[in-house]
């Protein structure tokens, strides 16, 4: 569904990524792990079109999108979440989702959609999908950290993407919310979406991912099933001292 081939990225003389090749298929979840500064966010930025690589190419549904903007990629079915919150704090959860739907072009703006019709139904479905039914009226600023993360997921899903890129979707949330988010993301994958997820919660990645890519110093150290990568000597070396 999405593939990176021979990706390299240099900036200001620094070599951030080198020869990264990987792909994520429909209904597959690829976990992307690696020590701090390994290049995980840079890779997600390149996959989503925020950053253009200096080498290699990105294909989305077999089409070369390397030179396409993130907006064009979004129209072709790619959605992503960011490490930092992308919510409008002064709007309700429902209004945030409504804006995401409108931005995705899935529902042209209509003042009448608020009261009835598919717009309102879609919003409620998305809120239910992230286990937030009944929280539509809550202002984003009043939501718990975990609910903010769930709302961001609902917004990413508003475009009905075929590829979802998640950059640390569980950063800073409570253990209980980690479990909830894990279930939701698993369901998204099971619905056929290709999911690539950068995440520091190792037990989540190893439990949820179909395959795991390990980045280290900008290189792809290993890629394979969770058990394959955790038993890889080079991976253990990279994580020396940390529990895998």
Ligand X SMILES: Nc1ncnc2c1ncn2[C@@H]1O[C@H](COP(=O)(O)OP(=O)(O)OP(=O)(O)O)[C@@H](O)[C@H]1O
C-alpha count within 13 angstroms, C-beta hemisphere, residue 28: 17
172 binds ligand X (CB under 6 A): no
Give the closest residue to 80 by CA, choosing from 156, 162, 187, 192.
156
Residues in contact with ligand X, total (CB under 6 A)?
A: 12
Nearer to ligand X, 162 or 219 (CB): 219
Within residues 61-120, the interface with ligand X by CB under 6 A covers none
Instruction: Give the span between the Cα atoms of 242 and 95, in whole angstroms.
Output: 42
Give the closest residue to 17 by CA, choosing from 49, 47, 50, 53.
53
Per CB under 6 A, the segment of 23-31, 37-45, 52-60, 204-212 that binds ligand X is 37-45
From 34, 49, 161, 226, residue interacting with ligand X (rule: CB under 6 A): 34
CB of 147 to ligand X, least distance (A): 23
CB of 233 to ligand X, least distance (A): 21
What is the phi-psi region of residue 54: left when phi exceeds 0, alpha when psi lies from -120 to 50, beta otherwise? alpha
From 41, 76, 85, 162, residue interacting with ligand X (rule: CB under 6 A): 41
CB of 22 to ligand X, least distance (A): 15
CB of 7 to ligand X, least distance (A): 12
| Max Cα distance, the chain (Å) | 60
CB of 139 to ligand X, least distance (A): 29
- In the chain, how many H helices and how many E strands? 9, 10
CA torsion sign for 37, 239, 241, 177 is: positive
From 2, 3, 7, 16, residue interacting with ligand X (rule: CB under 6 A): 16
36 binds ligand X (CB under 6 A): yes
Nearer to ligand X, 74 or 198 (CB): 198
From 39, 49, 53, 56, residue interacting with ligand X (rule: CB under 6 A): 39
Report helix, strand or coil for 207. helix
CA distances from 66 to 5, 45, 48, 71, 215 (A): 10, 12, 9, 13, 21
From 6, 37, 192, 207, residue interacting with ligand X (rule: CB under 6 A): 37
CB of 218 to ligand X, least distance (A): 7
Buried b (16+ CB within 10 A) or exposed e, 31-42: bbbbeeebbbbb
Nearer to ligand X, 33 or 68 (CB): 33
Q: Interface residues with ligand X (CB under 6 A)? A: 11-12, 14, 16, 34, 36-42
């Amino acid at each position: 569904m999405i593939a990176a081939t021979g990706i390299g990225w240099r900036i200001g003389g620094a070599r951030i990524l080198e020869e990264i090749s990987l792909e994520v298929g429909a209904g597959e979840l690829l976990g992307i792990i690696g020590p701090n500064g390994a290049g995980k966010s840079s890779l997600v930025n390149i996959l989503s079109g925020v950053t253009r690589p200096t080498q290699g190419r990105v294909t989305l549904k077999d089409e070369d999108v390397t030179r396409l903007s993130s907006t064009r990629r979004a129209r072709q079915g790619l959605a992503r979440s960011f490490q930092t919150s992308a919510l409008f704090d002064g709007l309700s959860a429902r209004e945030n989702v409504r804006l995401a739907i409108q931005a995705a072009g899935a529902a042209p703006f209509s003042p009448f959609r608020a009261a009835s019709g598919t717009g309102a139904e879609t919003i409620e479905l998305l809120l239910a999908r992230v286990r937030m039914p009944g929280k539509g009226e809550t202002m984003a600023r009043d939501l718990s950290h975990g609910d903010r993360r769930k709302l961001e997921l609902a917004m990413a899903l508003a475009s009905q993407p075929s590829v979802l890129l998640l950059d640390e979707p569980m950063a800073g949330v409570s253990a209980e919310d980690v479990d909830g988010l894990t279930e939701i993301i698993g369901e998204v994958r099971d619905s056929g979406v290709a999911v690539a997820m950068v995440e520091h919660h190792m037990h989540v990645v190893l439990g949820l991912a179909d395959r795991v890519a390990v980045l280290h110093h900008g290189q792809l150290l290993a890629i394979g099933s969770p058990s394959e990568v955790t038993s890889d000597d080079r991976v253990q070396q990279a994580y020396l001292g940390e529990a895998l």
